């Protein structure tokens, strides 16, 4: 049969020498490599006890921001969904009713807003596309899970909590400076 590449190697079936049968040379060779590395500075960390320091502008879990009065900024314009290369964002828009002015900043809002975190590639284009300062990526790391359903993040997980506001000033500044992070 004709070979497709020249990378194939013939398997050697030669008899092992007496030294090889004792495995001593191989063991000594392995130990030599072990001792060469044992006193070197480690490049690994003992996660999760030790956490690696990450950039303050790390592109992690998204947040849907509120304004200073606590109203949701998102107006369900859909620009983030259009910009998303992974088609990870879906939403349903709704009209704000009388008496809901304290909940939503503008007359239209996202009644449903979901990001499929299994599709998301954390590129930050949704943040770039948003004209309402409504969506930002944060330095929070997406938690792991056993079920695929748990990776569909709805408003309950995305909208920032009133008593736990999330500082996105660094990312906002970079966005205002017009530089993609
Ligand atoms: S970070 Fe990128 S992939 Fe993820 S939702 Fe935003 S635009 Fe889509
Ligand atoms: S997050 Fe921004 S871009 Fe996306 S729908 Fe809301 S206002 Fe529009």
Flag whether pLDDT at 15 surpasses 90: no
The confidence score (pLDDT) of residue 1 equals 59
- Is the torsion defined by CA of 35, 37, 42, 47 positive or negative? negative
- How close is the Cα of 1 to the center of ligand 2, in Å? 59
What is the assigned CATH class of domain 62-180? alpha beta
- Tell me the longest C-alpha to C-alpha distance in the chain: 91
Nearest to 121 by CA among 142, 143, 145: 142
Binding pocket residue ranges, ligand 2, CB within 6 Å: 74-80, 91, 110, 129-130, 132, 134-135
Q: What Cα–Cα distance (Å) separates residue 178 from each residue in 61, 156, 181?
A: 21, 30, 9
Q: What is the reported pTM?
A: 0.76
Q: Using DSSP, how many helices (H) and how many strands (E) does the chain show?
A: 6, 5
């Amino acid at each position: 049969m004709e070979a497709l590449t020249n990378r194939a190697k013939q398997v050697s079936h030669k008899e092992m020498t007496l030294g090889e049968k004792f495995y001593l040379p191989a063991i000594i060779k392995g130990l030599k490599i072990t001792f060469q590395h044992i006193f070197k500075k480690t490049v690994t960390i003992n996660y999760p006890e030790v956490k690696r320091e990450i950039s303050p502008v790390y592109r992690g879990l998204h947040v849907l921001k509120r304004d200073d009065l606590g109203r949701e900024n998102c107006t369900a314009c859909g620009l983030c969904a259009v910009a998303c290369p992974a088609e990870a964002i879906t939403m349903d828009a709704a009209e704000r009713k009388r008496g809901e002015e304290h909940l939503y900043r503008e007359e239209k809002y996202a009644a449903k807003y979901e990001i499929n975190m299994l599709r998301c590639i954390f590129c930050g284009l949704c943040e770039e596309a948003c004209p309402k300062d409504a969506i930002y990526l944060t330095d929070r790391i997406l938690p792991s899970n056993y079920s695929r359903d748990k990776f569909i993040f709805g408003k309950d997980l995305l909208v920032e909590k009133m008593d736990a506001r999330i500082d996105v000033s660094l990312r906002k500044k970079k966005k205002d400076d017009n530089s993609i992070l």
